[in-house]
């Protein structure tokens, strides 16, 4: 009987099988490594995109802070300018106040009435003048009362005088400048009530 030794054949088969397994294992490792590399690259790309988005957001926030700072500075400057303009307006009004008073007084003067004195102290005005008759003086009082610059117009004295052969009426009146602070009332107990203006 002939006997054949199969051990070398089995050994070769085992080597081939082991080689195939090693090849499969190597391919699996390569594929796994490629997959891990792709996943890593994707993660890195996402991280870079997120970092870029964070940088853009930070830049926008910085720009917004600068803009808000400029707006706050603008509002501060605007407030300072408005305050200065208000002061200038007050100074202009204070300078033009006497001019307006005299201009309004000139418009209130009727024909045939002349002022002999005009005094203004602390908002209190005292005037003296001469009119053709009582009607002319009354017209002057009405004009002053209708003016926005004078108030509390009160005739203190009116009397008839003669200049040459002309009979005229001399008068004194008081009033207050509109907008001027009123003086404190004088408290004098037992004071007699004020008499109406005397006429002659």
The CA distance from 46 to 40, in Å, is: 10
41 φ, ψ (degrees, to nearest 5): -60, -40
The 10 Å Cβ neighbour count of residue 198 is: 9
pLDDT tens digits along 6-62 = 556 666 677 777 777 888 888 888 888 888 888 888 888 888 888 888 988 888 888
Higher pLDDT, 152 or 10: 152
**For residue 109, pLDDT beyond 80:** yes
The CA distance from 155 to 139, in Å, is: 12
Q: From the centroid of its chain, how far is CA 112? A: 51
pLDDT tens digits along 68-93 = 888 887 787 687 667 656 544 544 55
The CA distance from 130 to 115, in Å, is: 6
Q: From the centroid of its chain, how far is CA 95? A: 25
């Amino acid at each position: 009987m002939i006997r054949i030794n199969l051990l070398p054949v089995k050994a070769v088969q085992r080597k081939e099988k082991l080689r195939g397994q090693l090849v499969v294992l190597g391919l699996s490792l390569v594929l796994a490594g490629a997959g891990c590399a792709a996943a890593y690259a994707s993660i890195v790309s996402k991280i870079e995109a997120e970092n870029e988005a964070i940088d853009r957001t930070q830049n926008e926030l910085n720009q917004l802070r600068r803009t808000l700072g400029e707006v706050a500075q603008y509002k501060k400057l605007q407030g300072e300018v408005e305050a200065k303009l208000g002061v200038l307006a007050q100074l202009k009004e204070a300078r033009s106040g006497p001019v307006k008073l005299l201009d309004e007084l000139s418009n209130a003067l009727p024909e045939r009435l002349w002022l002999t004195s005009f005094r203004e102290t602390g908002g209190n005005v005292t005037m003296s003048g001469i009119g053709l008759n009582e009607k002319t003086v009354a017209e002057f009082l009405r004009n002053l009362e209708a003016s926005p610059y004078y108030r509390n117009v009160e005739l203190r004295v009116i009397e008839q005088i003669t200049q040459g052969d002309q009979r005229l009426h001399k008068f004194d009146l008081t009033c207050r400048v509109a907008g001027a602070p009123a003086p404190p009332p004088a408290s004098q107990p037992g004071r007699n009530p004020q008499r109406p203006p005397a006429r002659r």
